[in-house]
């Protein structure tokens, strides 16, 4: 039985490799970052060591029962890996979906516990929000969170200091597609992505897996990346 299982596993691996041929976007390489209080994303911080034409796919606000599975399917169909910055309360409500994201080869960080404007909180409230989101992450994954993205990209001194002390990487962005507007369509999102790629040339892309129009548009967005010759770089942490 054990031998049969090994054969089936090998065949599954072969099929997966065959599915990820040159007709797919694929993941060109992986950057493994140290678990340290670094900060990346040219919008606010240092630039990741990316070559021109390399992008990192990131998604915020999930996991979403309604939309994250569609995002995972689109990524799987194109053999592309991404990083998901999850809201603590959503992790607590959907722990199995959160774990599925990681099982499928993606990496995960946190995006606060409540997705509030943290700058309006007291320092104590900010730290409590971080504590709750870290606890939700550890309960779901069994390890400490390696990375954090501020909601609305609104960094605060108190949380920057706390994250640095905890060796948690701050992940900002290099470009986005403003995919939270009510009138978004696949065509509009694809145009925004194309235009912003032309301006930036590379970098960390912000999208939202909790957003229905984004989930619907993602196959087209990934095709835009492929058609324009961009290479996907996956972020992981030691």
Active site residues: 60, 208
Q: Are 161 and 182 in contact (CB under 8 A)?
A: no
Helices (H), the chain: 2-19, 68-77, 88-93, 95-103, 123-141, 157-165, 186-200, 212-227
Residue 42: other Cβ atoms inside 10 A: 17
Task: Output phi, psi for 121, to 5 deg.
Answer: -85, 160
Residue 235: name the closest of 102, 113, 142 by CA.
102
Q: Are 165 and 131 in contact (CB under 8 A)?
A: no
């Amino acid at each position: 039985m054990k031998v049969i299982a090994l054969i089936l596993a090998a065949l599954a691996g072969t099929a997966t490799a065959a599915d990820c041929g040159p007709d797919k976007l694929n993941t060109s390489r992986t950057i493994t970052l140290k678990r340290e209080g670094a900060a990346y994303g040219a919008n606010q911080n240092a630039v990741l060591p990316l070559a021109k034409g390399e992008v990192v796919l990131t998604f915020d606000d999930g996991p979403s029962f309604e939309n994250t599975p569609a995002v995972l399917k689109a990524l799987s169909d194109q053999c592309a890996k991404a990083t998901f910055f999850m809201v603590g309360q959503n992790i607590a409500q959907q722990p199995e979906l959160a774990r599925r994201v990681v099982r499928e080869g993606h990496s995960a960080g946190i995006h606060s516990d409540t997705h509030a404007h943290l700058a309006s909180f007291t320092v104590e409230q900010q730290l409590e929000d971080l504590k709750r989101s870290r606890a939700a992450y550890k309960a779901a994954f069994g390890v400490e969170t390696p990375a954090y993205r501020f909601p609305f990209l609104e960094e605060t001194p108190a949380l920057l200091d706390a994250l640095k002390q905890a060796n948690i990487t701050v992940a900002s962005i290099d470009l986005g597609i403003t995919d939270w507007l009510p009138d978004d369509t696949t065509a509009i999102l694809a145009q925004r992505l194309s235009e912003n790629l032309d301006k930036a040339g590379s970098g960390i892309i912000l999208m939202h897996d909790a957003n229905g129009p984004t989930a619907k548009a993602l196959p087209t967005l990934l095709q835009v990346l492929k058609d324009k010759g961009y290479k996907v770089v996956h972020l992981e942490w030691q």
